[in-house]
Amino acid sequence: MTDPEVLTRQTVDLLRDLIRNACVNDGTADSGGEIRSVRTLEGFFAGSGLELEVVEPHHGRASLIARIRGTDKAAPSLALVGHTDVVPVDLDGWSRDPFTAELIDGEIWGRGALDMLYLTASYAVVIRDIAMGPFRPRGDLIFAAVADEESGSRYGVGWLTEHRLDLIDADFVLTESGGAPVGVRPSITTTVGEKGIAGRRLVVHGTPGHGSAPWGARNAAVIAAEAVSRLARFEAPVQITADWRHYVEVLGLPAELAERLTDPARIDDAVHELGTLAGFAHASSHTTISPNIIRAGNKENVIPSLATVDLDIRVLPGIDTGHVDAYLRHALGELMVDIEIVGDRFEAATRSPVDTPLFAALSAAVARAYPNADLLPVLSVGGSDARFYRRRGIPAYGFGLLSPRWDYGTFRMLFHGNDERIDVASIALTVAALDFTVREVLG
Ligand SMILES: [Zn+2]
């Protein structure tokens, strides 16, 4: 294996290039421009002998797949799946330019540094190093640099799963996210599952009228506002999952607080005591409904007869589409006479088993860096490309390995947040752990 310092340097350089490509995905088809990072990676792989394939389902929305063929067709394969798109920034909130990838005091700053370009860069460095070295994997090693993860993956893993599964299929998968130390021992988080997602639109019907005489009006905007505030106050029934119980255990909290955090009757009054972890604690124990887009009215002197509210609903394991509609009807109560619930998007929560050779290899990789640490399986409250694999029964984990300066609260805060950055020490740990894992699983 190449000198770890060299691999770290290569990863840092590649990461900075990926950040500068600014593949910002705002949800529209023509955003993203992931082709820029595909070109960067083609340059990075030039001369490595790696088999490359590029797909571009929509102009500019490209993904690159690299493969090393295994020596044994029957041996299990491993895919490293990294997205190249990033979410937009709120420039006012940043203390540095989010797209120049400055390296300051051992940290690389920029949108996507943590989510998840440092991992995508690490995967690329590891597969290139293996392609150019003497190690021959028994099973195939696949690297996929994919578009559009930040907006539903319809030009990325979603498209590939439907049209070119041959390129990205594997027996085991690594992707984002994980690696934050938790508790005193510490435990290192690895994402083994994620909440599901449901999409609904509330269509609110009122009666149009003149804005100069609003008394008694059935203003759709006013009804929508009431609906939104009811949904904001609504609490779905608490579910204490085994993953959440395990998570609380390793936090090393005072026993009394740990008890309340795992008691369905008391958790709601305890989450605020967790500081930066409060939102995660709440989302880990509840199916959540967030009203995120509200539209009503188009002229200031006309009382609107129509309003819409788009909901982001994240469901825990065991919750189905029937539960979701029942929660909405319950929360909205008698307002339902003016409201139609539209849409039936539903993807159930997914979870991979942990009794796999890949999980064992990750545990060993972590133990090399943190001798007393164990790997803590976490249910992510957000979504990732892992769901496309888990749904088909393929174990997929979110993995990385961060330095001791990190905690899970900071880690979560920087995802899609201001001043996103990653330290070189974490990159070094991650590249070494991935390199070890790949050789362990495919050796
Ligand atoms: Zn991500």
Task: Convert the pLDDT of each residue in 48-83 to its tens digit.
Answer: 999 999 999 999 999 999 999 999 999 999 999 999
- pLDDT band for 4, please (50, 70, 90 cuts): very high
Query: How many angstroms does the Cα of residue 214 sit away from the middle of ligand 1?
Result: 46
Query: How many angstroms does the Cα of residue 7 sit away from the middle of ligand 1?
Result: 22
**How far is residue 210's CA from residue 443's CA, in Å, rounded to a whole number?**
74
Residue 185's pLDDT is 84
Query: How many angstroms does the Cα of residue 126 sit away from the middle of ligand 1?
Result: 19
- 4-193+350-442 and 196-347 agree in CATH topology: no
Query: How many angstroms does the Cα of residue 176 sit away from the middle of ligand 1?
Result: 6
Place of tokens 């909130």: 93
Across the chain, mean pLDDT equals 96
* Mean pLDDT of all residues in 304-330: 97
Query: How many angstroms does the Cα of residue 242 sit away from the middle of ligand 1?
Result: 25
Give 200-213 pLDDT, tens digit per residue: 999 999 999 999 99
Which segment of 133-142, 349-358, 400-409 scores lowest on mean pLDDT?
400-409
- Find out whether 304 and 296 touch, Cβ atoms under 8 Å: yes
Place of tokens 């929509």: 58
- Find out whether 146 and 63 touch, Cβ atoms under 8 Å: yes
* Mean pLDDT of all residues in 281-286: 97
Among residues 435, 373, 433, 438, which one has the least CA distance to residue 404?
A: 373
Query: How many angstroms does the Cα of residue 146 sit away from the middle of ligand 1?
Result: 11
What's the fold here for domain 4-193+350-442? Answer: Aminopeptidase (3.40.630)
Residue 222's pLDDT is 97
Among residues 105, 141, 130, 178, which one has the least CA distance to residue 423?
A: 105
Query: How many angstroms does the Cα of residue 339 sit away from the middle of ligand 1?
Result: 35
Residue 89's pLDDT is 97
Query: How many angstroms does the Cα of residue 33 sit away from the middle of ligand 1?
Result: 16
Query: How many angstroms does the Cα of residue 87 sit away from the middle of ligand 1?
Result: 9
Query: How many angstroms does the Cα of residue 18 sit away from the middle of ligand 1?
Result: 14
**Which residues, in sequence order, are CB contacts of 5 under 8 Å at separation 6+?**
428
Query: How many angstroms does the Cα of residue 268 sit away from the middle of ligand 1?
Result: 28
CATH architecture designation of domain 196-347: 2-Layer Sandwich (3.30)
Residue 409's pLDDT is 84
Query: How many angstroms does the Cα of residue 246 sit away from the middle of ligand 1?
Result: 24
Query: How many angstroms does the Cα of residue 175 sit away from the middle of ligand 1?
Result: 9
Query: How many angstroms does the Cα of residue 354 sit away from the middle of ligand 1?
Result: 22
Query: How many angstroms does the Cα of residue 112 sit away from the middle of ligand 1?
Result: 8
Residues less than 5 Å from ion ligand 1, measured at CB: 115-116, 176
User: For the stretch 37-65, what's the b/e string if a residue is b when 16 or more beta carbons lie within 10 angstroms of its beta carbon?
Assistant: bbebbeebbeebebeeeebebeebbbbbb
Query: How many angstroms does the Cα of residue 322 sit away from the middle of ligand 1?
Result: 29
Query: How many angstroms does the Cα of residue 133 sit away from the middle of ligand 1?
Result: 30
**How far is residue 405's CA from residue 412's CA, in Å, rounded to a whole number?**
14
* Mean pLDDT of all residues in 268-297: 95
Query: How many angstroms does the Cα of residue 83 sit away from the middle of ligand 1?
Result: 7
- pLDDT band for 2, please (50, 70, 90 cuts): confident
Query: How many angstroms does the Cα of residue 368 sit away from the middle of ligand 1?
Result: 26
Give 386-426 pLDDT, tens digit per residue: 999 999 999 999 999 999 988 888 888 898 999 999 999 99
User: What ranges do the domains of the chain cover?
Assistant: 4-193+350-442, 196-347
The single-letter DSSP state of residue 301 is T
Residue 246's pLDDT is 94
Query: How many angstroms does the Cα of residue 67 sit away from the middle of ligand 1?
Result: 22
- Find out whether 80 and 87 touch, Cβ atoms under 8 Å: no
Query: How many angstroms does the Cα of residue 384 sit away from the middle of ligand 1?
Result: 7
Query: How many angstroms does the Cα of residue 429 sit away from the middle of ligand 1?
Result: 19
Query: How many angstroms does the Cα of residue 154 sit away from the middle of ligand 1?
Result: 15
Query: How many angstroms does the Cα of residue 220 sit away from the middle of ligand 1?
Result: 37
What is the percent of the chain where pLDDT is above 90?
Answer: 93
- pLDDT band for 1, please (50, 70, 90 cuts): low
**How far is residue 224's CA from residue 241's CA, in Å, rounded to a whole number?**
33
Query: How many angstroms does the Cα of residue 230 sit away from the middle of ligand 1?
Result: 31
Query: How many angstroms does the Cα of residue 72 sit away from the middle of ligand 1?
Result: 32
Query: How many angstroms does the Cα of residue 213 sit away from the middle of ligand 1?
Result: 49
Helix orientation angle between 118-131 and 4-20, rounded to the nearest 10 degrees: 130
